[in-house]
Structure 1
Amino acid sequence: MTTKPSDFYFPNPRSLHYCTQCANPLARIIPPDDNRVRDVCLQCGSVHYQNPRNVVGVIPIWENKILLCKRAIEPRYNTWTLPAGFMELKETSAEGALREADEEAGIAGIELGPLFSVIDVPSAGQVHIFYLATITQPELNPGPESLEARYFEFDAIPWDNLSFRTVSTTLEHYLADAKKGQFSIHYYSLDENH
């Protein structure tokens, strides 16, 4: 059986066993002048900090329809999501959100709006950030991380097949704000593993 690259590669787990600087085994200790257990190399002194990862995305709207992408990757393969993904180094959250919209949906034209939601997901070590966005050119060309991208009427959102609670709660807040005709920033925490 031939292994496709997408079947072989996966994100590195959070736990480390060896120092990335000198390759010696790591110890789990509280370093001097710190207050929590860290992965520390007792050979070279490197502290391997583990910090939350930022997920950035958009709520893309075209003529009172919302754009969702069907995931072609795990976790939650074959479920619908907002275009979003991990923020890269050397980019702002807004730049990352636009990049993810392009990578996942291949949106021909998009105008980024204001910040809409910030969701802490402590159990997953993540913070999810979504921006409002207006699509200016509706043509789509989904990338390899999406099975398809599609515009949904608000009353046709596939609630039973959404990928993550951060997506469903963001959509719930969006629809409530749209009904009021006034959008505000939503900050909250979800204690879940996705």
Structure 2
Amino acid sequence: MTTQPSSFYFPAPRSQKFCSQCATEISYITPPDDNRLRAVCQSCGAVHYQNPRNVVGVLPIFNDKILLCRRAISPRYNKWTLPAGFMELGETTAQGAMRETQEEAGAQIELGSLYTVIDVPHAEQVHFFYLAKVLSPELAPGPESLEARFFSPETIPWDELAFRTVITTLEHYLDDKKNGVFDSPHQKPPVHHYDVPLPMHDF
């Protein structure tokens, strides 16, 4: 029986209290020539902009089966997901997607084209998923995954999927597959752009 780890993995807090330049307490005001509240240092004048975070991942396919990972971390501990995670500094979205696949599933892949771009404004995130061909059935899940497994379309655990962005990406893939989008090796699949209208926990 698996137990939930005591340490959680969360991004740095979004609410900033002190200036990163001079350590003075900051205020949230609308600077001149701007149109929204910003974290502004009243001492040195530094403006600390907060921008959406990028989540990058893949939709990995091996012999018409989809690779999913069962999460070993919060949020959504014990739920299934596509290999994905926060993009690191100094890497492209494609590089980040490949890194996350290696870290979470230990899978060797050939990265394909960008497939879904999903805006998640309530979580201050944008999710990018690439198509990917898994080159070998050998998997070696890392510490962030309880297990990694291949699922046929008929056996996808829909009620146990972690995030709506994962559900949306899988739905697009199955619809495109049904409509013959992937039948021609010379036809590039479309990029699906979608907005998640509600907070991530409201499924």
Q: Deviations over 1:119-158 (max 9, x none)?
A: 0011110000000000112211111111110000111000
TM-score normalised by the chain length of structure 2: 0.90
Structure 1 pair 20–147 and aligned structure 2 pair: CA distance change class (3 A):
same
The 5 Å alignment of 1:138-157 reads: 138-157=137-156
Q: Is the 8 A contact 1:39 1:48 kept in 2?
A: yes
Counterpart in the other structure of 2:185: none
1:172 aligns with 2:171: yes
**Cα distance in 1 between the residues matched to 2:42 and 2:100:** 39
Is residue 2:31 matched to residue 1:31?
Answer: yes
Give the Cα–Cα distance (whole angstroms) in 2 for the partners of residues 157 and 187 of structure 1: 23
Matches within 5 A, 1:120-159: 120-159=119-158
* TM-score after normalising by structure 1: 0.94
What is the rounded CA distance, in whole Å, between the counterparts of 1:81 and 1:10 in structure 2? 17
Aligned equivalents of 1:67, 1:9: Cα separation in 2 = 23
Deviations 1:93-140 (CA, angstroms, capped at 9, x unpaired): 000000000011011x21000110000011110000000000112211
C-alpha change, 1:178 and 1:6, in structure 2 (3 Å) is: same
Tell me the amino acid that sits aligned with residue 193 of structure 2: Y
Query: Aligned partners of 1:8, 1:79: CA distance in 2, in Å?
Result: 15
| In the alignment, structure 1 residue 190 sits paired with structure 2 residue 189 | no
The SS at the match of 1:171 is helix
Query: Structure 1's 93 and 41: CA in aligned 2 closer, same or farther, altered over 3 A?
Result: same
CA contact (8 A) 2:8 2:73 kept: no
Cα distance, 1:9 vs structure 2: 6.2
Letter in 1 for 2:171: E
Checking the alignment, whether the CA contact within 8 Å between 2:9 and 2:74 is kept in structure 1 is: no
RMSD (Å), alpha carbons: 1.4
Once residues 145 and 31 of structure 1 are traced to their aligned partners in structure 2, the CA distance between those partners, rounded to angstroms, is 41
Deviation, structure 1 residue 192: 2.8
* 1:24-59 CA-partner distances (Å, limit 9, x unpaired): 111000112211100111111111111000000000
Structure 1 residue ranges (4+ consecutive) displaced by more than 6 angstroms after TM superposition: none
Per the alignment, residue 66 of structure 1 pairs with: 66
Q: Give the match for residue 46 of structure 2.
A: 46
Structure 1 residue ranges without an equivalent (≥5): none
- What is the alpha-carbon distance in structure 2 between the residues aligned to residue 67 and residue 181 of structure 1? 21
Distance 2:157 2:119 in 1: 24
Aligned-pair CA distance for 1:10: 4.0
Corresponding position of 1:100: 100
Residue 112 of structure 1 is matched in structure 2 by 111
Count of residues in correspondence between the two structures: 189
Segments of 5+ residues of structure 2 without an aligned counterpart are 182-188
**C-alpha separation in 1, matches of 2:7 and 2:119:** 29
- SS of alignment partner, residue 66 of structure 2: strand
